[in-house]
A and B are shown apart, each in its own frame.
Chain A
Amino acid sequence: MSELSDVAPAEQAADVIVPPERPTETPVELPRPAPRVRRLNIIGRRNLFFAVSLIIIIPGILSMATKGFLLGIDFAGGTEFTITFANQPSVASVENAVAADPLTAGGTVIQTGGNGGYIIRSLPLTPQQQQIVEDHLVGRLGPMVGGAPQQVIEVGGTIARETIEFALLALVLASAAILFLLAIRFRNVPGGWRAGFQFGGSALAALLHDVFLLTGLFSIMGKVLGWRIGEIDSLFVTAVLTVVGFSVHDTIVVFDRIRENLRVSQRLSFEQVVNLSIMQTAARSIITSFTVVLVLTAILIAGGTTLKGFALALLIGIVSGTYSSIFNASPLLVVWRRVQPLR
């Protein structure tokens, strides 16, 4: 493992960009040209990056605490009709028709597209009542495309509560499992188990950063700005959990490099090792996120309405995950080391 000790002392505290070099077929170690050094000191500016994160997260947390979320049908409970009307009635006329029916009075109407598509929500209805509502709507607004609603969802309060409980339980369990996995995998760096938990804890903090940033932004979009795309449902929960997976992925890649560099570069300080590791893995983190972002942008632009909120959640979460693994997780590890020195 001594091959990697080619980081000369002169290059310390810097990230190394090696200029183009002709690779040779012969395994002879050639004298290497002096590396060009660019100072991108992420660890040194860590407070700036922490501040950036907090500026985004704190309003989100405030919004969540005071306003909550715009809830999708599977969390809120009730009956939801997805209907496309052949005559393409206006929003106002659909709202009037909904308000005129005592079964749906007080319900909400959402337009899903320009071609007569609407989502109508009401309190829970029995099948007979649903039929009455459908007949009533057809009577006032003309026939439905296909002769029936595209989708009817009815969710009782029990299921809605259980979905939320399951989602939270899954998140807590997954976080705990990730903390322990990292502690186990990183206990063999200098410092043992305590170091392992420092790595695990920092990754967990970055993960929670992404979760709060994402949920906070959706709370703001849904409740403060009143955008429908900020609505949260089961798919949003799936998105959050995916982001958790991706964020930990990114963080582990950086941490793995730190683990490796700690072994081979004994001469560098911990901060220098961390900064070097971030620089060495940045290309990979950005390239991977970039490809995923491309795919998600395509879904966001071209995908159907059901998938748009989901794609947006993933997009925000993955950008946040990459940011937090580079700018938060590793700097946090450095701060933690300072507070609780291990070597």
Chain B
Amino acid sequence: MQLVLSWPVRLLIIGILVFSLFVDGAGYIYRVANHYPLTGNVPGLPPNFGSWQLYIHRGLDLAGGTHIDYQLANFPPGQSRADVQQRTIQVINKRVNSLGVSEPQIRGAGNNNDRITVDLAGVTAQQAQKTIGAISKLVYTKWVADSKVTNGPEPGYKPAFVGLTGDDIQSASAAIDQSGVSWVVNISFTSRGAGVFDNLTRDNVAACPGTGTDCPQRHLTIWLDLTQQDIDNWETATYVSQVSAPYDTGCLAAQTPNTVCGKFLTDPTTLQEISGGQAQISGNFTQGSATDLATGINAGSLPVDLQVLDVTQVGSTLGAESVKLSLAAGLLGLSIVVLFMIIYYRVPGLLASIALLFYAAAVLAIFKVVPVTLTLAGITGFILSVGMAVDANVLIFERFKEEVRAGRTIPAAVDAAVRRAWPAIRDSNTSTLITCVILGFVGPPAVQGFAITLGIGVVASLISAIIVTHNLLAIVMTGSALRRPWLMGVDRSVGAV
């Protein structure tokens, strides 16, 4: 065990400790100084490295919110399932953004790219399902003259439906044009859509002939959910300016009869007749705005059907209650263990308790850095790993007593105890780690959270029990005043039953 007692190892431990205290402490000082809440994300939280902020990420069962598993059905034929899943995730993301959720989690799942899991903090299941599952209908309009219209995209004109809708669009995607410089949005129509679009573009060009001319008759505008009722109101200036605002799927999903939501997507002019069913919208797009528009066009029609597999909605009060209870349970457990260790093992027990605090600080720091999303099951895993950390110490200390009784000096007994307890500690923790890895890979999500925290805890507990406790003991051994048998807890025979 010379390696364990060497100075490089000690420096490493001190380094980990300093880093942990920094990660754990800096954030709280900042929170208190700025009167921010003590948990969750707050603006400018140090220590932050760019967008990488360090704080405990709470799972939905602690933070409150909604979790939904969707099954994707009716995949469009001839397209890669992974792409379709990715596109669906983008659409859901877009829709969810309007809810103002912090850190929405939308992940693909399923062996066959046929699942999507959505975690939204602070949103009820109804809001979430309405917004995500909303069926927005994409419509095309042309423009007809109406002198009473004063504003909107084309003053002096009001829109009219042309019989082309989202059903006629196969897909839209952002891409770089042939010249390789500017971003465009490519739209491909179905065969019916291609025919309708061909006629429309031919009529448009005929209505306002010439090359490079731009007049309202040449415009084909795309809207989401635009209704005839909206068009009938087109002469009301305030109404038009509201409807012509950029579309807002969140608003559209939660719409009540009295709200007017933005429904406008894009208003491109027709340059020439387009007959192949492949249209391209160009303009001053950036990659971001092109992707946004493509997603918007796709949002009119989710590429697949979403079927709800399960929904969990946790109220924020229940979450807060769970946090309080599990914190209390954790603190209570830790205090009981510390008290017991000190009374029963005295100086070694005290040192082990110090190691235990080191362990707790390090694990919390790891949770923040990785970051691990903490759930109720995850906290349980953490509390249990405390038990395992103590177990390694108990093994060493019981062995230590035996070695002293066998006639060894106290320093020699410490070395022998650590050396001989090691195989049992190694093997038992290996078995726990193996279990954690298996649970982490095949377990249901709740169990995965448990496996991750327990696994991290077991590794940290090994370091704390073997290296930290041993080093502390070795340091204490150099002070002869503390080498008394009573202080080392070996004056009475309390070992075996």
Interface, chain A (partner B; CB < 8 A) = 3-4, 6, 15-27, 29-30, 32, 40, 74, 82, 127, 130-131, 146, 148-156, 158-159, 162-163, 166-167, 169-170, 173-174, 177-178, 181-182, 185, 234-235, 237-238, 241-242, 244-246, 248-249, 252-253, 256-257, 259-260, 279-284, 286-288, 291-292, 294-295, 298-299, 302-304, 306-307, 310
CA distance A178 to B391 in the complex (A): 19
CA distance A196 to B395 in the complex (A): 23
Residues of A within 8 A of B391 (CB): 249, 284, 288
B369, chain A: closest CB distance, angstroms: 25
Query: B239 within 8 Å of A by Cβ?
Result: no
Residues of B within 8 A of A131 (CB): 126
Given contacts A153-B311, A178-B435, contact A234 B328 (CB under 8 A): no
The answer to whether A306 and B387 touch across the interface, beta carbons within 8 angstroms, is no
Residues of A within 8 A of B50 (CB): none
The answer to whether B313 and A32 touch across the interface, beta carbons within 8 angstroms, is no
Closest residue of A by beta carbon distance from B429: A249
Query: B255 within 8 Å of A by Cβ?
Result: no
Residues of A within 8 A of B443 (CB): 166-167, 170, 241
Query: B459 within 8 Å of A by Cβ?
Result: no
Interface positions of B from 372 to 390, Cβ below 8 Å from A? 376-377, 380, 383-384, 387-388, 390
The answer to whether A40 and B491 touch across the interface, beta carbons within 8 angstroms, is no
CA distance A295 to B328 in the complex (A): 11
Residues of A within 8 A of B52 (CB): none
Residues of B within 8 A of A298 (CB): 329, 332-333, 336
The answer to whether A245 and B383 touch across the interface, beta carbons within 8 angstroms, is no
CA distance A6 to B442 in the complex (A): 48
Closest residue of A by beta carbon distance from B324: A304
Interface-located stretch among B150-158, B194-202, B406-414 = B406-414
Residues of B within 8 A of A284 (CB): 391, 394-395, 398
Interface positions of B from 292 to 349, Cβ below 8 Å from A? 308-315, 317-318, 321-322, 325-326, 328-329, 332-333, 336-337, 340, 344
The answer to whether A156 and B308 touch across the interface, beta carbons within 8 angstroms, is yes
9 example contacts (A-B, Cβ-Cβ < 8 A) are as follows A3-B416, A20-B491, A154-B310, A169-B442, A235-B377, A248-B431, A259-B423, A283-B496, A298-B332
CA distance A88 to B377 in the complex (A): 30
The answer to whether B497 and A288 touch across the interface, beta carbons within 8 angstroms, is no
Interface-located stretch among B261-269, B360-368, B444-452 = B444-452
The answer to whether A307 and B315 touch across the interface, beta carbons within 8 angstroms, is no
The answer to whether A256 and B497 touch across the interface, beta carbons within 8 angstroms, is no
The answer to whether B308 and A154 touch across the interface, beta carbons within 8 angstroms, is yes
Minimum-distance CB pairs A-B, first 8: A295-B333, A256-B424, A154-B311, A150-B315, A152-B313, A249-B428, A252-B428, A150-B318
CA distance A155 to B445 in the complex (A): 14
CA distance A235 to B408 in the complex (A): 47
The answer to whether B409 and A26 touch across the interface, beta carbons within 8 angstroms, is yes
Residues of B within 8 A of A237 (CB): 444, 447
Q: Residue B313 contacts which of A153, A178, A246 (CB distance < 8 angstroms)? A: A153
The answer to whether A154 and B312 touch across the interface, beta carbons within 8 angstroms, is yes
Residues of A within 8 A of B454 (CB): 242, 245
B485, chain A: closest CB distance, angstroms: 5
Q: Residue A174 contacts which of B130, B387, B438, B444 (CB distance < 8 angstroms)? A: B438
Q: Residue B329 contacts which of A163, A178, A299 (CB distance < 8 angstroms)? A: A299
CA distance A16 to B496 in the complex (A): 8
CA distance A6 to B427 in the complex (A): 26
A-B interface contact total, Cβ < 8 Å: 243
Residues of A within 8 A of B390 (CB): 288, 291
Query: B420 within 8 Å of A by Cβ?
Result: yes
CA distance A283 to B400 in the complex (A): 13
Closest residue of B by beta carbon distance from A294: B336
Residues of B within 8 A of A24 (CB): 407, 409
Q: Residue B394 contacts which of A3, A18, A21, A287 (CB distance < 8 angstroms)? A: A287
The answer to whether A302 and B332 touch across the interface, beta carbons within 8 angstroms, is yes
Q: Which of B314, B412, B483 has the most CB of A within 10 A?
A: B314
The answer to whether B387 and A288 touch across the interface, beta carbons within 8 angstroms, is yes
Additional A-B contacts beyond A248-B435, A283-B494 (16; CB < 8 A): A150-B317, A153-B311, A153-B313, A162-B444, A173-B442, A178-B431, A181-B431, A237-B447, A242-B454, A245-B435, A249-B431, A288-B387, A295-B332, A304-B325, A306-B376, A307-B325
Q: Residue B444 contacts which of A149, A163, A283 (CB distance < 8 angstroms)? A: A163
The answer to whether B434 and A174 touch across the interface, beta carbons within 8 angstroms, is yes
Given contacts A32-B407, A178-B434, A291-B390, contact A280 B492 (CB under 8 A): no
Closest residue of B by beta carbon distance from A279: B496
The answer to whether B438 and A177 touch across the interface, beta carbons within 8 angstroms, is yes
CA distance A82 to B427 in the complex (A): 43
CA distance A164 to B213 in the complex (A): 66
Given contacts A149-B313, A295-B329, contact A238 B432 (CB under 8 A): no
Closest residue of A by beta carbon distance from B491: A20
Query: B252 within 8 Å of A by Cβ?
Result: no
Query: B24 within 8 Å of A by Cβ?
Result: no
A147, chain B: closest CB distance, angstroms: 10
Query: B402 within 8 Å of A by Cβ?
Result: yes
Query: B125 within 8 Å of A by Cβ?
Result: yes
Residues of A within 8 A of B71 (CB): 158
Interface positions of B from 432 to 480, Cβ below 8 Å from A? 432, 434-435, 438-439, 442-444, 446-447, 450, 454
Closest residue of A by beta carbon distance from B379: A307
Given contacts A21-B405, A148-B315, A307-B325, contact A181 B430 (CB under 8 A): yes
The answer to whether A130 and B125 touch across the interface, beta carbons within 8 angstroms, is yes
Q: Which of A40, A163, A182 has the most CB of B within 10 A?
A: A163
Closest residue of A by beta carbon distance from B447: A238
Given contacts A162-B444, A287-B398, contact A15 B405 (CB under 8 A): no
The answer to whether A18 and B322 touch across the interface, beta carbons within 8 angstroms, is no
The answer to whether A167 and B447 touch across the interface, beta carbons within 8 angstroms, is yes
A215, chain B: closest CB distance, angstroms: 16
The answer to whether A280 and B438 touch across the interface, beta carbons within 8 angstroms, is no
B259, chain A: closest CB distance, angstroms: 19
